[in-house]
Homo-oligomer: A and B are copies of this chain.
Amino acid sequence: MEGEPTLRLRIFDLNCWAIRYLSKRRQERIRLIGDKLRQEGFDLVLLQEVWSEQDYSDLKAKLASCYPFSHYFRSGVIGSGLCVFSRFPILDTLLYQYSLNGYPYMLQHGDWFCGKSVGLIIMKISGIIFNIYPPCFLQLHAEYCRDKDAYLPHRLVQAWELAQFIRHTSKAADVVLLGGDLNMHPEDVGIRLLRGWTGLRDAFAEATHFEGCKNGCTLVPDNCFTDKSEMLPFPLGIRIDYILYKAISSFTVKCEELKTTTGPAPGMAIPFSDHEAVMATLHIQRQGQPAGATLGTADLALADVVTEARTEVGVGLRAAQRQRYSWGRMAVLALLLLLLQAAAALGTLAGLGAEQPFPKLSFCLLAFLSLGVLILATGLHVFHTMEVKMLHGTEDQMWMALRALQERP
């Protein structure tokens, strides 16, 4: 290490899986997480899926002495579930909500209600400005049919918006940190897009020393809370929780050590969550040119990734256009049926028809049914119209990015 002093930063990241009434042994696990954080004294703690504000308040009270600064990001119906605890003061925060977030009618997945978003926390530690991004992503559903991931276009829109948000907001930062559950495998196009477009580096790949689950997996079949059937194609588990970083100005960041938990801690009966926690020790030093700047050769690879992502977004766009059309048609048909019924009813009232052609009850039921279909179909038509707009907008932005990449000298 040349000259300048080094800042050593210890980070803890965990998807807490703390959904009220649904997550198993939630309160017990939150207590265990609090104990662990108090014992270990990290510098920065990034927690996801803390859906209940009560859990956040409990943690905040418990950790007040060792992590005096904290923030909870509020959004959506249930919340963003994102919270941050820190030993250092938080200077500013911002929340960016993705424009697409699954489908409201996929109630069993519930993504739409979670207000998926990315937070931004600005901190100054030893004179170094940190932009820290705790993201919250569309869940991975049905791991076993990854080939037919209906959410892929939405996931790519989120990855793109996250990357754009980081690029546009991090220009005054010295160090950028992104830590959280990205719900994507390391080789997925979304991760490659995010990493390529922002220049962020993967702590797992860069770590000098690693300790924990094989391949850095954070969702492993051994964990007593994971859904075993969904993990069948991945006997070793999958890695979907990341700590990514880069230095922007004249700093270098190195990952000295990366650890994951491996099930319950010694002496504990249960693990902290259905995910394993990720813990990184970063070394930050002021020196020379920033590392990780995009190079000419990297541009070509990046253009390939953006092209691939844009193709997938295009596929989603056409699917959304089809949906918009068919729900619109359904709404028009229901409206026509309603008008027909209204005409028939008015005709009967005016005494035009000698007798009423239908029994009252079924006539009434049919009217309610067509009204219901009309409301539902109109709602879905409106929803898919929004989806089309956002997919189209993202496709445009990606096209602009590709043009900029090609025009770069």
Residues of A participating in the B interface, judged by any CB pair closer than 8 Å: 71, 73-77, 79, 90-97, 99, 113, 115, 120, 164-165, 167-169, 171-172, 360-361, 364-365, 368, 382, 385-386, 389-390, 392-393, 396-397, 400-401, 404
Q: Is the CB of A76 within 8 A of B172?
A: no
Q: Which of B172, B368, B400 contacts A172 (CB 8 A)?
A: B172
Q: Is the CB of A74 within 8 A of B168?
A: no
How far in angstroms is the closest Cβ of chain B from A199? Answer: 15
Q: Is the CB of B392 within 8 A of A74?
A: yes
Q: Is the CB of B74 within 8 A of A400?
A: no
**Which residues of the other chain, B, contact A79 by a CB distance below 8 angstroms?**
389
Q: List 5 A-B contacts (CB under 8 A).
A: A74-B396, A75-B393, A92-B401, A93-B397, A94-B168
A56–B196 CA distance with the chains assembled, in angstroms:
32
Q: Is the CB of B75 within 8 A of A390?
A: yes
Q: Count the copies.
A: 2
How far in angstroms is the closest Cβ of chain B from A381? Answer: 9
Question: Knowing A361-B364, A382-B77, A396-B74 touch, does A164 contact B91 (C-beta < 8 A)?
Answer: no
Q: Is the CB of B360 within 8 A of A390?
A: no
Q: Is the CB of B115 within 8 A of A393?
A: no
A115–B400 CA distance with the chains assembled, in angstroms:
22
Q: Is the CB of B97 within 8 A of A99?
A: yes
Q: A79-B389, A97-B97 are in contact. List 11 more A-B contacts (CB 8 A).
A: A74-B392, A74-B396, A75-B386, A77-B389, A91-B404, A92-B168, A95-B393, A115-B386, A115-B389, A120-B168, A364-B365
**Which residues of the other chain, B, contact A95 by a CB distance below 8 angstroms?**
99, 393
Question: Knowing A382-B77, A390-B74 touch, does A400 contact B92 (C-beta < 8 A)?
Answer: yes
**Which residues of the other chain, B, contact A90 by a CB distance below 8 angstroms?**
400
- Which residue of chain B is the closest to A381 with respect to CB atoms? B77
A139–B99 CA distance with the chains assembled, in angstroms:
21
**Which residues of the other chain, B, contact A172 by a CB distance below 8 angstroms?**
171-172
Residue of A96, A113, A115 contacting most chain B CB atoms (<10 Å): A96
